[in-house]
Structures are given as structure tokens and as C-alpha cells.
Chains A and B, each alone.
Chain A
Amino acid sequence: MAIKRRDFLKLGGLTLVGTAASAAVENLLIKGEAKAEGYTSAPESLKGKRWALVIDVKKCKENQSTCGFKCIEACNVYHNIPNIPDPKKEIKWIWKDNFEHAFPEEGTNKYLVEKLEGIPFILLCNHCENPPCVRVCPTRATFKREDGIVMMDYHRCIGCRFCMAACPYGARSFNWYDPRKYLSKVNPLYPTRTKGVVEKCTLCYERLADGKVPACVEACPAKAIIFGDLNDPNSEVNKVLEERMAIRRKEELGTGPSVFYLID
């Protein structure tokens, strides 16, 4: 059946009126929704363009016998990290491993190996300049913030674990179990995670917002972990890196890690 020109025009007009009316009704319904006057950052918060950590390996090594790895303990307690004994399913944000495992590409460097072999290195997410985990995340649950922190939004994580495959540092852990069953101490100021999401070090973004340095930096009795902004030429991290020799993990991959290890 052919439609008459007159009827077609009438229908067109009605459609237009209908669309306008529904838009108006919708506007009325959601009126008052945008209520916030605004958002701002806390005045006491630490501000930076590229947060970095510098770990003084020598200082760290000298104090390891007495400090009991307070950095790891402080992080675990603050972030409600479960203690899962199975190494295949454990959750780790900051952990220790020896030089050979942390820097496998340096294994042929005989002289470096001689000096550093067997020393436990403190390892954590490198908050890369060019993070491969962010590139592969299909939901943008992990992303890079303007201050250089590679962040996780657990609400958006679908547990696909692409990021874990992409991360060359093994800095990400998947929650195979409900983490709450493996907590001995609970910090009520920080949420736990849930089964099925990937988690990692967030460089204590919450503490930075309150003007505090990361928990591991604060906890280290030897002050072997230095925190600062790489972008600020006057920051402590920049001064230390100018004066001393530092290496980064798997630098040849081009990820641009923000965690430096002083080895002299």
C-alpha cells in the first residue's frame, strides 16, 4: 500500500512534536539531579605530575635483619590485603624477591650479579609511564591518572585478567576467593575487594589526597624508600637520582617504570 504524500508529511510533523515533548518531559523529570555545586581537591592533598618511588637497596639490605619488612606489613594492614598461603592465588601489592628474579635481564651481567645476588628487593607496581595493563583493559577499569598513578576501579573490573597477562612485573593479583576470609586484621577506613577482581598497588592515592605519603614510605624505619614527584626538578627523588646510580626493572620493554632502585 502506497502512502500518500499528505499522510507522510502529517506523520513527520507528529514525530517531531512527539520527540520535542518527550525531551521536555525528560528534562522535567531529571530536574534537580545535577545538584552538586562542585568538586574540588583537598587543600592538604599532595599534588604531583608523576609520582615515583626510589628504593635505596643498600639501606634496605642493611636494615632487613631488624626491620621485619615493615613496608610490606604496613601496606597489607592498611589496604586489607588477605594472606592467602597458595602462591598461585596469593594477593600482593608490595612484596620481596631476590635480584635474579626481579632483574632477569641482568643475569648475564656477571659483576652486577656478584654484587647483588641474593639480595631481597622490594617490588611493587611500577606505575609505568606507558602502562601495558591500561592498554589492554577492555573496560577502562585500570587507567593512568594525571598524577602518574596507574589506578584501579574495582567497580568496573570484569575479571578478564588481560592486565595480569600484560604486566611484565607480576604486580597484579586476581581474587580467586572472597578476601575477607583471609584477613586477620581489618582496617575499617579502607574497603576490601571482592571475588573476581584484579588488584594492585595504588600508590596510596587515598593517603595522598589526605596529604600523607604512601604507607610503605612512612613505615620504613631506615627511610630507604623515597617518595616524590619526578616532574618537579627540586624534588627529593630527582636530587637523589641525579647524584646516584639507579636501575629500573625491565627498562628495555619501554614501559617507563616510576620505581627506581639505587644500587651504589
Chain B
Amino acid sequence: MYNANKVIPGIIIFILFFTAPIWLNFGRLEAIPQPELPKGEKKCVESKEYMRAYHMKLLDDWRKKAIRENQYIYINSKGEKYRISLQKTCLKCHNNREKFCDRCHNFVITHPDCWHCHFTKEEAKKWQ
């Protein structure tokens, strides 16, 4: 190999530079988001684990069923019925965007535009 004394250190520096975030954050756990659940409410429409993983899919299905097929009632896995509506059902309990939605969404750098149209009473005070 020609110029091994320059190429190999070069490759090592390149790899170290590009993996810097891994080494700098190694073993640090405080960044894990802690969303604040609504107070006084014990259960959501489905289990916590399911909602955590699939809430976006559920909301998508809700929208399709409600406005395209006129099916406004969701029957959950336990047989309980819920009115499909973000404004009337979800946001009734999950009324704090900063402490609930944003904490995880910011952590995973995803910016869904739900709040461009949907809002809570508290949220409305800000732009009124």
C-alpha cells in the first residue's frame, strides 16, 4: 500500500469524527423523554403499550372510518365504545401539547402537523 502512514490515520480520524455523537453521548440516559400523562385519567382507548406504538396508525384508521365510511364509533379490544373525534375524545384528556405530545415527538425529531388544525381550549387562548 502506498502512503499507508497517511491513509490509515486519515481513515481512523474520519471514522472517529463521524461516530463522535455515539462517543459523546455514551451511557447518557437523561435524554429519554418523559411524557406527562393526563391527571385523573386511568385508561386510554387501548393499552398504554399499544397506544405508544400505534397511536398514529389508529388515528389514521379513525379518520378513514369516520369521514369516508360514516362509522363514528370505535369498539376497542375490550368491547368499549368511543366516539371517533380528535377534538371531542382524544383532546378531552390529552390537553397539554408541550408536556405530552411534544416531549416524545421532539425527541425523535418528528413534527406531525396535527396541531395546525386541531386544538384544545387552552391552546386556543394563545392565538385568540
Chain A contacts to B: CB under 8 angstroms: 32-33, 35-42, 45, 143, 145-147, 151, 153-155, 180-181, 183, 186, 188-195, 205-206, 209
Question: Shortest distance in angstroms between B84's beta carbon and chain A's nearest beta carbon?
Answer: 8
Secondary structure at chain A's binding surface: helix, strand, loop or mixed? Answer: loop
* B83 neighbours in A (Cβ, 8 Å): 42
Q: Are B124 and A154 in contact (CB under 8 A)?
A: no
Q: A33-B54, A33-B57 are in contact. Are A209 and B76 (CB under 8 A)?
A: no
Q: Please tell me if B27 contacts chain A, counting CB pairs below 8 Å.
A: no
Question: Shortest distance in angstroms between B114's beta carbon and chain A's nearest beta carbon?
Answer: 9
Q: Please tell me if B75 contacts chain A, counting CB pairs below 8 Å.
A: yes
Of the A-B pairs whose beta carbons lie under 8 Å apart in the complex, a sample of 26, sorted by A's number, is: A32-B50, A35-B76, A36-B77, A37-B77, A39-B69, A39-B75, A39-B84, A42-B72, A42-B73, A45-B72, A143-B68, A145-B67, A146-B70, A151-B68, A181-B127, A186-B119, A188-B119, A188-B121, A191-B86, A191-B87, A192-B119, A194-B113, A194-B116, A194-B117, A195-B116, A209-B70
Chain B contacts to A: CB under 8 angstroms: 46, 50, 54, 57-58, 61, 63, 65-77, 79, 81, 83-88, 113, 116-121, 124, 127-128
Contact of B124 among A39, A42, A188, A195 (CB under 8 A): A188
Question: Shortest distance in angstroms between A255's beta carbon and chain B's nearest beta carbon?
Answer: 21
A38 to B74, CA, bound (A): 6
Q: A36-B75, A40-B75 are in contact. Are A180 and B70 (CB under 8 A)?
A: no
Question: Shortest distance in angstroms between A30's beta carbon and chain B's nearest beta carbon?
Answer: 9
* A153 neighbours in B (Cβ, 8 Å): 63, 67-68
* A143 neighbours in B (Cβ, 8 Å): 68
A-B pairs, top 7 by smallest CB distance, nearest first, are A194-B116, A39-B71, A191-B117, A209-B72, A37-B75, A186-B124, A39-B65
* A192 neighbours in B (Cβ, 8 Å): 117, 119
A108 to B85, CA, bound (A): 48
* B54 neighbours in A (Cβ, 8 Å): 33, 35
In this complex, the member of B61, B73, B113, B120 whose beta carbon has the largest number of chain A beta carbons within 10 angstroms is B73
Q: Are B67 and A151 in contact (CB under 8 A)?
A: yes
A153 to B64, CA, bound (A): 9
Q: Are B117 and A40 in contact (CB under 8 A)?
A: no
Question: Shortest distance in angstroms between B7's beta carbon and chain A's nearest beta carbon?
Answer: 31
* A205 neighbours in B (Cβ, 8 Å): 67, 70
A121 to B87, CA, bound (A): 33
Contact of A40 among B46, B58, B73, B76 (CB under 8 A): B73
Q: Are A155 and B88 in contact (CB under 8 A)?
A: no
* B63 neighbours in A (Cβ, 8 Å): 153, 155
Q: A41-B70, A42-B72, A209-B72 are in contact. Are A35 and B119 (CB under 8 A)?
A: no
Q: Are B117 and A154 in contact (CB under 8 A)?
A: yes
